[in-house]
Amino acid sequence: MPELPDVEIFRRYAEEHALNQEIKKVSIEDDKIAATSPQTISESLRDRQLKKAERIGKYLFLPTERQSVLVMHFGMTGWLEYQKHEKSQYTKASLNFSNGYHLCFVNPRKLGRLHITDNIQEFCRYMEIGPDALAIGEGDFIQKMKKKRGMLKSALMDQSFLSGLGNIYSDEILFQAGLHPKTRISRLNEAHIGHLFSRMKEVLSLAIEHRANPDNMPDHFIIPHRKEGSICPSCGGEVQKDKLSGRGYYFCPRCQAGEEE
């Protein structure tokens, strides 16, 4: 599933290719991806231009020169393509520009969604989108974490608590912080939380720098080794897999000792 680093790459891609061009037509190939009615999406965007590309968590916001904002959520496998000729077979919607190019919303599993809003802040409140994991300050992060209960991995993946992290990057952040995914938040002191915050910022920044490509991640990341029995890049031990709330996660029992359930 696209997480914060992936969507930041999409944001930069849209910013580079899709701004300040007149939208002549909006094509919705599959109504399932339209959280706002296809007619409303089309009427809100036709004959307008996208003026900015913003991101909060896993959501991409594309405001027009008027009040309408196109909102994209990419679901499990979505991405963007800017092209002039043949569209991908998995294109579920496209913005067709006056220069003949298209910004295609590619979504093979049809789990992405398109919305129209006229207020980004109100949209985030309605959708219960928490503070962006890359934008939040250390003080706010520490205070929020002190009030949170439960296990660390679940907290990091709670989009209403902190937006942008999913299964993959929560694994990486906890690995870099040396914390077991099932550690109880109540067991952490302020120094632990501050260290977790620093590793979170570092992991997300490096992932964006490496264009969110698992094959290009730094050697000390566990992401390229997210397979049970793989070799831990830190200690040489075996990477293990476990489950939390029905979802599999990967960790190193040597580097992330001290499970606290």
User: In this predicted structure, what is the pLDDT of residue 260?
Assistant: 47
Q: Are residues 85 and 182 in the same domain?
A: no
d(CA 194, CA 198): 6
The tokens describing 146, both together, are 């002190």
- CA angle in degrees (0–180, nearest 5) for 239-157-177: 50
- Which residue, 81, 106, 126, sits at the end of a domain? 126
- Which residue, 71, 99, 126, sits at the end of a domain? 126
148: left (phi over 0), alpha (psi -120 to 50) or beta: beta
Query: 10 Å Cβ neighbour count for 99?
Result: 10
Q: Are residues 117 and 155 in the same domain?
A: no
Q: Are residues 9 and 114 in the same domain?
A: yes
User: In this predicted structure, what is the pLDDT of residue 150?
Assistant: 96
8 A C-beta contact, residue 56 and residue 129: yes
Look at the chain and report how many structural domains it folds into.
Answer: 2
Q: Are residues 83 and 174 in the same domain?
A: no
Question: Mapping DSSP to helix (H, G, I), strand (E, B) and coil, where does residue 84 land?
Answer: coil
Q: Are residues 206 and 147 in the same domain?
A: yes
Q: Are residues 117 and 52 in the same domain?
A: yes
Residue written as tokens 């608590």?
161
Here the CATH number for the domain that contains residue 243 is 1.10.8.50
Q: pLDDT tens, 187-206? A: 999 999 999 999 999 999 99
Q: Are residues 78 and 18 in the same domain?
A: yes
Q: Are residues 43 and 117 in the same domain?
A: yes
User: In this predicted structure, what is the pLDDT of residue 259?
Assistant: 57
Structural domain harbouring 180:
138-251
Q: Is 131 contained in some domain?
A: no
Here the CATH number for the domain that contains residue 62 is 3.20.190.10
8 A C-beta contact, residue 225 and residue 175: no
d(CA 27, CA 104): 9
User: In this predicted structure, what is the pLDDT of residue 174?
Assistant: 98
Q: Are residues 70 and 109 in the same domain?
A: yes
Q: Is 32 contained in some domain?
A: yes
Q: Is 67 contained in some domain?
A: yes
The tokens describing 196, both together, are 């977790």
Q: Are residues 121 and 24 in the same domain?
A: yes
Q: Are residues 40 and 76 in the same domain?
A: yes
Q: Are residues 115 and 145 in the same domain?
A: no
How does pLDDT run along the chain (261 residues), one tens digit per residue? 899 999 999 999 999 999 999 999 999 999 999 999 999 999 999 999 999 999 999 999 999 999 999 999 999 999 999 999 878 899 999 999 999 999 999 999 999 999 999 999 999 999 999 999 999 999 999 999 999 999 999 999 999 999 999 999 999 999 999 999 999 999 999 999 999 999 999 999 999 999 999 999 999 999 999 998 999 999 999 999 999 989 999 999 999 986 544
